[in-house]
């Protein structure tokens, strides 16, 4: 069986939901649908989840909620009207939303979680109704009834391992199940939403629970591209990549998924397919644990992320001080800063971190501590770097890949601040000044994808 | 004033000592000579220091010392004979050696230290006599009388900061001073030898103490070469380099000095000149804190050292665990292992260390701890790597240097295991398999030194 998850734009309107229905019809092995809340129909549209947040905040501030509530109801009503869904369904959705707004607000986190979850929950009911009326034997599946048990505070649900055992029972269901994404329940019945990428998380958990042959992630792009289409014109598409490649790429700005969202699928070895609701016949991108070698290109993708800072430390005879690097990283950790890399030379060590991890205070404290406690010759920090990731399985064993990438960057007249190769088997990363980020991506892309020779 | 230090081969015979005398004559600003024990005259010769160690060990084992003692005495006698030095000097040397052998052996370290130091000490007396008979007003200078105070256990003398103040007084001496290298004294009169590179250390300390305008290090090579002449045919010579370049090069197998030996000179800003006793008119290699830019080549030297191991660690979502890298390095430290680099990817981190830091036990313990305490997906260790260092001031700002180096290696068909660029302003380093070390050096040398274009 397959689990198919549909993102916000794929369930944003009646028209989109009809595409979902066609997709379900075209492959009977699709037995579970996980749905998001209605997303944007056009670029300037508002997502239902954002409407619900606005509505919930009015309630917390004791402002009038009437208009905001009508706004949400109207959105569902327009979808129901488009699909000709029976009035009873809309009446249920309306009653559900009114009940949620009236909920106890004492714990604001708990209150907001159940408000936000209304988007997916009601959309699942609506879609189940539409599937039934389209000839399917479908039913809405409540995450609590399904045993999607979680722990953690509001907005940060963590799946419990017993949830997988509970969800495994869904394999025996005769009906098509329509499952709302984005939230689970504590054992005591409290609803908790997942962090970023919430519906993707639900999909991955359910797919893992039922041990699906495939987890299909329907979104609004044909596939994952080799490089950001906003930077490179008509980039090649990635037809097949590994979990590890996906993870390295998503680290550095690939926004199709939040990288953690797919972890439940990866951990259980479930293949993931990224497909386009608007072009379901397209090949899409398949993500598996391994892939056969022999891609036509030696690399799989190029990604970049801005907003990095580098702390430089220099001390004569540093490499003779056992524990120097460890003590430096300890200071970084004691400031609550998570670091990305720490390349070191003989008398030099750098710490590369996301600038967002720093504050002016923590930066000053850190430099002062390094200077005084490690008695260094020099230490300073520089901001405004990008990390560029060049990703591909087997890169570490391919002679000359690093040379081609560095050469391409050099030919573009760009200085590389740091090269990190050899720590990862699947990637090569560079630090460059932020302002040259796009140029570097283009240079690497052209080297590997537009040259005729390899 | 200049301080001139002469290495073992430069004082190995009467003929060599005559060259020393000529060198002293050619420049009256050379006021202090620091001398080693007589070294090898030919490749299969035995150094006096090694004879003394053999002699001392016989004494400790209560074996007969007669033959071994005669062996050492004969060596000095042959030098005296060659130079026509008065019999009294040789009688003093003989008495000194006999007294040392008869010394208390209760503390074996202390006993061996004074045995080993006999080589330099008696050579200094002999050379002082020769200088006097050659028309100089010279005298032997005992390190205790000069105030070269040290601390630390036998074989591991550490200079005390007050030694520099004492040694500063030597500036006012009218006579040429002949100073034995390799040892100092504790305040209570106990002799302690320096670790590896011992006479170089003495020279650097004395030069720093008298604030010499130049510390000349006379050895048996014309200058420091850009690459090992055993690997590259007729490599270019380095005429001028910085302390930092020297340090990075000596880290990776440049054997002209032990890198720590020059620290006292570096710390006091004393320029160092490497010259050839057998060709004192040669330009040699000058080492200073800074050097004017505009070398004819973009890099200063290439060095390599074998014997590295790499510990690989992989864990999914590693980069979200604050403190992961620090905890890993802590385990390494707790095994008493000093690490060289620790490059990291998203889900991977490696620790590069010298294989000599490991034992089979510590390796197994470390891997077990990483596996269990850090709960990683995979960890293993591989041996047999070389580190290649490409060194040059300002490398970090030169576009394309890394590309040229990696390209040259790739064109030689060699896979780079790790690239480390950006942590040091003066070097770029690579890890490669040991068996390709020489090929990599040749490839980089040819790229930067034999190509006509840059």
What digits encode the pLDDT tens for the residues A332-372? 989 888 888 888 878 889 999 999 999 999 999 999 999 99
Domains of chain A, start order: 2-220 (3.40.1160.10), 301-450 (3.30.2130.10)
Q: If you write DSSP's letter for every residue of B28-96 in order, what string do you get? A: TTEEEEEE-----SSTT---HHHHHHHHHHHHHTT---HHHHHHHHHHHHHHHHHHT--HHHHHHHHHH
Nearest CA to A246 out of A269, A217, A268, A224 is that of: A224
In this complex, is the C-beta atom of A190 within 8 Å of any C-beta atom belonging to chain B?
Answer: no
Which SS3 state, helix, strand or coil, does residue B140 take? Answer: strand
Q: If you write DSSP's letter for every residue of B253-314 in order, what string do you get? A: T--SS-GGGGHHHHHTT--EEEEETT-TTS--EEEES---S--SSS--EEEEEEEEEEEEEE
What digits encode the pLDDT tens for the residues A139-159? 999 999 999 999 999 999 999
In this complex, is the C-beta atom of A234 within 8 Å of any C-beta atom belonging to chain B?
Answer: no
When pLDDT is cut at 50, 70 and 90, the band that residue A320 belongs to is confident
> Is the model's pLDDT at B340 over the cut of 50?
yes
pLDDT greater at residue B451 or residue A413 = A413
CB contact under 8 A, A247 and B404: no
Distance separating alpha carbons of residues B232 and B225, to the nearest angstrom = 10
Nearest CA to A306 out of A253, A257, A342 is that of: A253
CB contact under 8 A, B410 and A400: yes
Which residues in chain A touch residue B418, judged by CB atoms under 8 angstroms apart?
421-423
> Is the model's pLDDT at B382 over the cut of 50?
yes
Nearest CA to A371 out of A333, A314, A309, A308 is that of: A314
B323, B344, B424 ranked by CB distance to A348: nearest: B424
Torsions phi, psi of B413, nearest 5? 75, 25
Helix, strand, coil % in chain B, rounded to nearest 5: 45, 20, 35
In this complex, is the C-beta atom of A317 within 8 Å of any C-beta atom belonging to chain B?
Answer: yes
How far B248 CA sits from the closest chain A CA (Å)? 7
> Is the model's pLDDT at A412 over the cut of 70?
yes
Provide the chain A residues 249-288 that lie in CB contact (below 8 A) with chain B: 251, 260, 263, 266-267
Q: Average pLDDT, whole number, for chain B?
A: 91
User: Residue B74 is encoded by which pair of tokens?
Assistant: 């004969």
Which residues in chain A touch residue B403, judged by CB atoms under 8 angstroms apart?
403, 406-407, 409-411
User: Residue B454 is encoded by which pair of tokens?
Assistant: 């840059």
- The pLDDT of A198-202, averaged and rounded, is 91
- The pLDDT of B309-323, averaged and rounded, is 86
User: Residue A272 is encoded by which pair of tokens?
Assistant: 């993931």
User: Residue B391 is encoded by which pair of tokens?
Assistant: 């060194």
- The pLDDT of A436-452, averaged and rounded, is 90
How far A344 CA sits from the closest chain B CA (Å)? 5
When pLDDT is cut at 50, 70 and 90, the band that residue B454 belongs to is very low
Which residues in chain A touch residue B263, judged by CB atoms under 8 angstroms apart?
316-317
What digits encode the pLDDT tens for the residues B135-180? 999 999 999 999 999 999 999 999 999 999 999 999 999 999 999 9
> Is the model's pLDDT at B206 over the cut of 70?
yes
> Is the model's pLDDT at A135 over the cut of 90?
yes
- For the ranges A117-131, A350-364, B213-227, B291-305, the lowest mean pLDDT is seen at B291-305
pLDDT greater at residue B296 or residue B102 = B102
Which residues in chain A touch residue B319, judged by CB atoms under 8 angstroms apart?
251, 338, 340
User: Residue B48 is encoded by which pair of tokens?
Assistant: 């006096």
When pLDDT is cut at 50, 70 and 90, the band that residue A254 belongs to is low
Distance separating alpha carbons of residues B212 and B15, to the nearest angstrom = 28
- The pLDDT of A125-145, averaged and rounded, is 97
Show binding-site residues of B for ATP: 219-220
> Is the model's pLDDT at A293 over the cut of 80?
no
Q: Average pLDDT, whole number, for chain A?
A: 91
In this complex, is the C-beta atom of B110 within 8 Å of any C-beta atom belonging to chain A?
Answer: no
Which residues in chain B touch residue A404, judged by CB atoms under 8 angstroms apart?
410
> Is the model's pLDDT at A257 over the cut of 80?
no
Distance separating alpha carbons of residues B85 and B90, to the nearest angstrom = 8
How far B230 CA sits from the closest chain A CA (Å)? 25
Residue B394, pLDDT score? 81
Residue B223, pLDDT score? 83
What digits encode the pLDDT tens for the residues A73-113? 999 999 999 999 999 999 999 999 999 999 999 999 999 99
How far B366 CA sits from the closest chain A CA (Å)? 16
How far B180 CA sits from the closest chain A CA (Å)? 27
Query: Given the structure tokens 């005429």, which residue do they identify?
Result: B239
In this complex, is the C-beta atom of A323 within 8 Å of any C-beta atom belonging to chain B?
Answer: yes
Give the residue from B242, B335, B346, B412 with the most A CB atoms within 10 Å of its CB, the best one to mutate: B346
Q: Of all residues in chain B, what percent carry a pLDDT higher than 90? A: 71
């Amino acid at each position: 069986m397959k689990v198919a998850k549909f993102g916000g734009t794929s369930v944003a309107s009646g028209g989109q939901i009809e595409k979902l229905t066609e997709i379900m019809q075209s492959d009977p092995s699709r037995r579970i649908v996980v749905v998001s809340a209605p997303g944007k129909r056009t670029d300037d549209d508002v997502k239902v989840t954002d409407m619900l947040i606005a509505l919930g905040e009015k309630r917390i501030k004791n402002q009038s909620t009437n208009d905001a509530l009508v706004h949400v109801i109207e959105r569902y009503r327009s979808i129901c009207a488009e699909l000709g869904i029976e009035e009873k369904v809309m009446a249920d959705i309306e009653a559900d939303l009114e009940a949620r707004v009236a909920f106890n607000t004492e714990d604001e986190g708990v209150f907001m979680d159940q408000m936000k979850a209304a988007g997916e929950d009601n959309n699942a009911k609506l879609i189940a109704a539409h599937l039934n009326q389209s000839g399917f034997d479908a039913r809405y599946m409540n995450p609590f009834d399904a045993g999607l048990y979680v722990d953690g505070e509001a907005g940060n649900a963590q799946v419990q391992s017993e949830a997988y055992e509970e969800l495994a029972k869904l394999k025996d269901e005769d009906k098509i199940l329509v499952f709302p994404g984005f939230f689970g329940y504590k054992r005591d019945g409290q609803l908790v939403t997942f962090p970023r990428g919430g519906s993707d998380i639900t999909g991955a958990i359910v797919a893992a629970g039922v041990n699906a042959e495939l987890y299909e992630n329907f979104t609004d792009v044909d596939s994952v591209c080799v490089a950001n289409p906003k930077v490179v014109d008509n980039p090649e598409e990635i037809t097949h990549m590994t979990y590890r490649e996906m993870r390295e790429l998503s680290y550095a700005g690939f926004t199709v998924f939040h990288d953690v969202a797919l972890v439940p699928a990866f951990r259980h070895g479930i293949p993931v397919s990224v497909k386009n609701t608007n072009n379901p016949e397209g090949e899409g991108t398949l993500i598996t644990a391994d892939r056969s070698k022999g891609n036509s290109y030696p690399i799989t993708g190029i990604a970049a992320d801005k907003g990095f800072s580098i702390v430089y430390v220099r001390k004569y005879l540093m490499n003779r001080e056992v524990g120097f690097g460890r003590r430096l990283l300890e200071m970084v950790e004691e400031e609550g800063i998570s670091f990305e890399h720490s390349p070191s030379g003989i008398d030099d060590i750098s710490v590369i971190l996301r600038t967002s991890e720093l504050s002016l205070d923590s930066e000053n404290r850190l430099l002062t501590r390094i200077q005084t406690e490690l008695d260094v010759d020099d230490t300073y920090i520089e901001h405004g770097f990008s990390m560029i990731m060049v990703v591909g399985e087997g890169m570490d064993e391919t002679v000359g890949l690093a040379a081609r990438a560095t050469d391409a960057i050099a030919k573009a007249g760009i200085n590389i601040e740091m090269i990190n190769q050899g720590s990862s088997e699947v990637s090569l990363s560079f630090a460059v000044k932020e302002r040259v980020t796009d140029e570097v991506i283009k240079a690497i892309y052209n080297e590997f994808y537009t040259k005729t020779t390899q």
